[in-house]
Amino acid sequence: MAEAPLAQSSQDRSKDPGRLQNKPALQPEPYIGRAVARRWPLIERYTLPEMGSIWSEQAKFQSWLDVEIAATAAQCQLGRVPAEALAEIRAKANFQVERILEIEAEVRHDVIAFLTNVNEHVGDAGRYIHVGMTSSDVLDTGLALQMKASVALLRAELDLLADALRALAREHKGTVMIGRSHAIHGEPISFGFKLAGWLAEVERNRERLERLERVVSVGQISGAMGTYANTDPQVEAIACAKLGLVPDTASTQVIARDRHAEYVQTLALVGAALERFSTEIRNLQRTDVLEVEENFAKGQKGSSAMPHKRNPIRSERIGGLARVLRSYVVAALENCALWHERDISHSSVERMMLPDCSVTLHFMLRETTAVVAGLGVYPENMARNMNVYGGVVFSQRVLLALVDTGLAREEAYRIVQRNAHSAWNQPGGDFRANLEADADVTSRLSPADLAECFSTALHQQNLEVIWQRLGI
């Protein structure tokens, strides 16, 4: 057994403050950074290539380089950088992700590591890069480019979902089904009408994403405290214009995080809409309902034990991923309260949160569109479910018809409820037959009057206004 180290004298300890009594000398902690560049920010299972590439390390550093070159070009335009130097920077500026990570492991500063690697390529002209700028000018403006690109992808996917919903709604404008409240049969609607409600929400989310693109398309080239002390507001204005951004109204060292919180909240809200749709599909696919059904591909298996199973796995997946999006909302809001002009408590959160939210919603939108486009719809089952217990769901029409004959509403309600409840959940229960055998009803309503009460035409006659609003 090794001999225990002797206690150091106070004099010894004063010479080596890293040592404590009977403790070995502390070694420098290894840098816990990105030792290996990741290809995707999230697990590959839910990361589609288009969005994954936006949030790759390569794309991040490219956005930084775009910002640096735009700022240098602005300086050149203002006569502060020789044109020859700018041309050399444009021609030679490059980076290698692995080299940046190698440098970062030593300097423990990602922007410095990036600039060091860029200058290894550029050479002497590199002295004109990053003049008057702070790291956050690069980080936040580059991040704005990534978020803007992400929103553009999300908008494109949302448009595809809108197209799929509109086509399905148009096909089923007249497909009558039962409407439900509290999960209990209410009155007839059409499946197209249900889809119209989904489409309307998608259109609202389209507007939200349009606004969000403007909210996040904000950059800054304003220096260490945002005061333009070592740069010129014109540099910021020119550089942002070149990048397709607008200058922040008043930044500190960072762009205020309410914009990033709105990004996450908006994505979570879109995800909540997709969860609403997917939850409805799951409910309508239940065996005892079976009014719609997810497409079941050739060769697909529903259960390892039960060969008959056809599970709504894509809708369930959409609902689960919506929870992931919502889980980030609190973190995004908590990122808003930074100390003074800046700290970096938000940085670690955003490295995970923004890529994860972006790729997750992108996947969810693609998945939802596939579900809608391939959805099996069963009108026969809809008709069967609507007419259970002899059409009790037409009770309101019978009530109003009796009231129209001059019967007091309270009395009419009592008569109709009596006949409905005697049919409800009864073997062979038949509401219409009960009415036809009730003298209190037949004395006031003719067979034709009663038949009219059981027509679905009334429930569809005013839906044209909704079709017109949504272009269905």
Contact 198, 318 (CB under 8 A): no
- Local structure of residue 219 (DSSP, 8 states): E
Residue 189: phi and psi, rounded to 5, are -135, -170
Q: Which of 182, 308, 348, 443 is catalytic?
A: 182
Amino acid code (one letter) for 115 = L
Q: Based on the residue annotation, tell me whether 181 is a catalytic residue of this protein.
A: no
Render 149-181 in DSSP notation, one character per residue: HHHHHHHHHHHHHHHHHHHHHHHTTT-EEEEEE
Q: Can you state the angle between helices 135-171 and 110-122, rounded to 10 degrees?
A: 100
Q: Which residue in 303, 327, 345, 455 is the catalytic one?
A: 303
**Partners of residue 377 on adjacent β-strands:** 292
Measure the CA–CA gap between 70 and 381, rounded to whole angstroms: 61
CA 450 – CA 416 distance, rounded (Å): 12
State the DSSP H helix or E strand holding residue 184, giving kind and residue range, or none if neither.
strand 184-190
Judge whether 376 and 359 are in contact, CB under 8 Å: no
- Structure tokens given for 430: 């038949």
Report the alpha-carbon distance of residue 103 to residue 228 in Å, rounded.
Answer: 29
Per DSSP, which regions of 289-416 are E strands?
292-293, 376-377
22: nearest Cα among 32, 37, 31, 12: 12
Work out whether the CA dihedral 288, 294, 299, 301 comes out positive or negative. negative
What the block records as the tokens of 256 is 């205020």
Instruction: Classify the phi-psi angles of 306: left when phi > 0, otherwise alpha if psi is within -120 to 50, otherwise beta.
Output: beta
Q: Could you give the residue ranges of the DSSP H alpha helices within 217-312?
A: 233-243, 258-284
How many whole angstroms separate alpha carbon 47 and alpha carbon 50?
Answer: 8
CA-CA distances (angstroms) from residue 264 to 104, 206, 335?
A: 29, 15, 11
- What 152-155 contacts at long range (C-beta under 8 Å, 24+ apart), as own/partner pairs, is 152/213, 153/50, 153/51, 153/54, 153/362, 154/209, 154/267, 154/270, 154/358, 154/361, 154/362, 154/365, 155/206, 155/209, 155/210, 155/213
Is 303 a known active-site residue? yes
Residues labelled as active-site residues:
182, 303
